[in-house]
């Protein structure tokens, strides 16, 4: 048991626990209403939104999963850096439109938009179910990160996951989105301190970057299968499609959309798309921790343990505890937002749409709070049922699913040309093909090799599934349009997508 690290860890964890409960009274609103509990009344300005969305997107994935892939497979893991760079220019053009139409019509979820835009309950249900299911492996990734740091301090077994579940349940049930928003400020400051100290101290202790890179290259060459210090030509297509596919999927996740919808203005969303790349700089530094673990002689079959073991070995116990607290809090914040987002989807687009159409805001909030607990249980089931060699695979699996909502959500923001029934068929084709490709690997990899015209083309399965999705959507749009199948009612207008006023 690493007592010095554990004591510091507990102290900081108690601090954020207190903040989580205090948050219920921060920018006070009626938390018995779904819009207040699930979106904090859409009142967050630029700074809070920056911390919230940053805390939402840069998570245990950043500190545990990315370095773990670098540690085990080498340079392929660096795909996370370009993906978080290209994502912001793309969504700078998209998300302000999404915020405007959501504000105008009071949409809480992306599926609310689908229902309003296409007048199709079945299509809205498909998008809601996809968002909920895709969120579960992402929450599982956060819990895996927490488990890794606790194990490094000598706390093993399954009970840390139970503790994490209870803490998440208390935060989300009592305070809604306000809790992770307040905690995100502390969490991000802690992570930046940890990253800055690590990038200065570790190279000094390990003989400089030249020695780190040489040692990492040597260590990777001796692994089975061998890792690569630089991306090889055979990995180009996988690297590129992982980066591009992950970028397209990032803001389609319900938790990312929830963070955006909670902003108080369209300009706040724009400013955040301009400011969030600062996190990408930190990610680039953190990714190198995987190579530093190799250079430090860290040996573990559990790749997620590489960074925690590195910190235990190279830092004083008190600082390791501080870093572990940053990582664990970095898991709690997004997991809370993710469970809130999934609960919003269920409440608005399943419970209200199919079971209690006249549900009051108070009833919606009660249901959402309970569902947020169930979603966390689903994440625990995912960890047990689909153990992954690399924790990052959990995020990639979610990406396969959520990327199939792109034609509906993104194309739908700009045009009504695509037929609602064709969009549903395209979504179904993409989901089934994506799951099939993942299944052919024994649920162990999200890379699929497509054999076409005598050529073998390995790529991120989400991209292959999206291509099929779009092809099916276009073909059946032409068919249904020719047959004059009803298109459904569009309750939005062109001006709705350009609303500028603050809430």
Residues 199-235 have pLDDT tens digits of: 999 999 999 999 999 999 999 998 878 889 999 998 9
Q: What is the pLDDT of residue 503?
A: 42
Spatial contact of 182 and 350, defined as CB atoms under 8 Å apart: no
Q: Which residues pair with 446 in a beta bridge?
A: none
Contact call for residues 269 and 92 (beta carbons, < 8 A): no
3-class SS at 233? helix
- The residue among 231, 133, 76, 215 whose CA lies nearest residue 434 is 133
> Which sign, positive or negative, has the C-alpha torsion 340, 346, 352, 355?
negative
| Per-block mean pLDDT, blocks of 10 residues, the chain (503 long) | 88 84 74 85 90 80 85 91 92 95 94 96 96 86 81 78 72 82 87 92 95 95 87 93 94 93 93 90 90 94 90 94 89 85 92 90 88 79 60 80 97 96 98 95 89 89 97 98 93 89 47
253 vs 31, 59, 167, 175, 413, CA distance in Å? Answer: 24, 14, 23, 22, 16
Q: How far is residue 303's CA from residue 67's CA, in Å, rounded to a whole number?
A: 9
The token duo for 223 is 């692994």
Instruction: Give the separation between CA 295 and CA 289, rounded to whole angstroms.
Output: 10
Q: 20 is written with which tokens?
A: 């989580």
Residue 25: beta bridge partners? none
Question: How far apart (Å, rounded) are the C-alpha atoms in residues 226 and 419?
Answer: 47
* pLDDT, position 113: 97
pTM of the shown model: 0.91
Q: Where are the beta strands (DSSP E) in 163-301?
A: none
In the three-class reduction of DSSP (H, G, I as helix; E, B as strand; rest coil), residue 448 is classed as strand
| CA angle in degrees (0–180, nearest 5) for 409-367-109 | 15
Contacts of 495 (CB under 8 A, 6+ apart): none
Q: Which helix (H) or strand (E) holds 447?
A: strand 447-452
CA distances from 356 to 70, 201, 351 (A): 48, 58, 6
Among 292, 331, 67, residue whose Cα is nearest residue 198:
292
Rounded CA separation 276/270 (Å): 10
Q: What is the residue-averaged pLDDT of the chain?
A: 89
State the pLDDT at residue 384: 63
Which residues pair with residue 458 across a beta bridge?
A: 449
Q: Please, what are the domains in the chain? A: 3-19+35-388 (1.20.1730.10)
Q: How far is CA 476 from CA 5, 117, 402, 427, 467, in A?
A: 59, 19, 21, 12, 14
Q: Could you give the CA distance from residue 268 to residue 296 in angstroms, rounded to a whole number?
A: 43
Q: How far is CA 67 from the centre of its chain?
A: 17
In a 10 Å sphere around its CB, with 0-12 CB exposed, 13-18 middle and 19+ buried, how is residue 37 labelled? buried
Tokens encoding 205: 């202790």
- What CA–CA distance (Å, rounded) separates 280 from 223? 29
Q: Are 108 and 35 in contact, with CB atoms under 8 Å apart?
A: yes
Residue with tokens 């938390």: 31
State the pLDDT at residue 224.
79
């Amino acid at each position: 048991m690493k007592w010095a690290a554990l004591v510091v860890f507990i102290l900081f964890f108690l601090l954020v626990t207190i903040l989580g409960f205090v948050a219920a009274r921060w920018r006070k609103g009626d938390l018995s209403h779904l819009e207040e509990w699930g979106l904090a009344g859409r009142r967050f300005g630029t700074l809070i939104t920056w911390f919230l969305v940053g805390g939402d997107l840069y998570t245990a994935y950043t500190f545990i999963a990315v370095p773990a892939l670098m540690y085990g497979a080498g340079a392929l893991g660096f795909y996370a850096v370009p993906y978080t760079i290209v994502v912001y220019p793309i969504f700078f053009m998209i998300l302000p439109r999404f915020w405007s139409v959501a504000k105008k019509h009071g949409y809480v979820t992306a599926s609310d938009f689908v229902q309003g835009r296409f007048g199709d309950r079945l299509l809205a249900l498909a998008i809601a179910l996809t968002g909920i299911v895709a969120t579960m492996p992402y929450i599982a990734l956060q819990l895996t990160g927490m488990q890794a740091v606790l194990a490094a301090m000598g706390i093993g077994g399954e009970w840390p996951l139970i503790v994490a579940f209870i803490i998440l349940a208390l935060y989300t049930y009592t305070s809604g989105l306000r809790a992770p928003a307040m905690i995100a400020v502390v969490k991000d400051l802690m992570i930046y301190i940890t990253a800055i100290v690590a990038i200065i101290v570790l190279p000094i202790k390990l003989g400089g970057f030249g020695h780190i890179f040489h040692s990492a290259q040597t260590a990777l060459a001796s692994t089975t299968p061998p890792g690569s210090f630089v991306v090889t030509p055979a990995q180009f297509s996988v690297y590129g499609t992982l980066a591009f596919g992950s970028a397209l999927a990032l803001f389609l996740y319900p938790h990312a959309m929830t963070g955006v919808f909670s902003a108080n203005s369209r300009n706040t969303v724009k400013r955040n798309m301009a400011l969030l790349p600062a996190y990408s700089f930190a990610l680039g530094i953190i990714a190198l921790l995987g190579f530093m673990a190799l250079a430090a002689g860290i040996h573990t079959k559990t790749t997620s343990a590489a960074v925690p073991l590195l910190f235990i070995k190279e830092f004083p116990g008190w600082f390791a505890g501080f870093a572990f607290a940053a990582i664990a809090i970095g898991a709690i914040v997004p997991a809370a937002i993710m469970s809130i987002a999934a609960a919003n989807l269920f409440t608005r687009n399943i419970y209200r749409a199919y079971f209690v159409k006249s549900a009051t805001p108070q009833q919606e909030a009660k249901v959402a709070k309970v569902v947020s607990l169930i979603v966390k249980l689903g994440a625990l089931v995912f960890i047990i049922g689909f153990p992954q060699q690399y924790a990052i695979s959990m995020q990639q699996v979610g990406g396969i699913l959520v990327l199939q909502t792109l034609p509906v959500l993104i194309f739908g923001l700009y045009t009504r040309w695509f037929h609602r029934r064709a969009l549903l068929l395209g979504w179904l084709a993409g989901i089934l093909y994506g799951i099939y490709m993942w299944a052919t690997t024994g649920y162990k990899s999200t890379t699929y090799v497509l054999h076409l015209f005598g050529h073998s083309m390995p790529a991120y399965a989400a991209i292959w599934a999206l291509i099929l999705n779009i092809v099916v959507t276009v073909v059946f749009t032409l068919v249904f349009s020719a047959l004059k199948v009803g298109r459904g009612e569009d309750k939005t207008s062109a001006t709705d997508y350009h609303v500028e006023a603050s809430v």
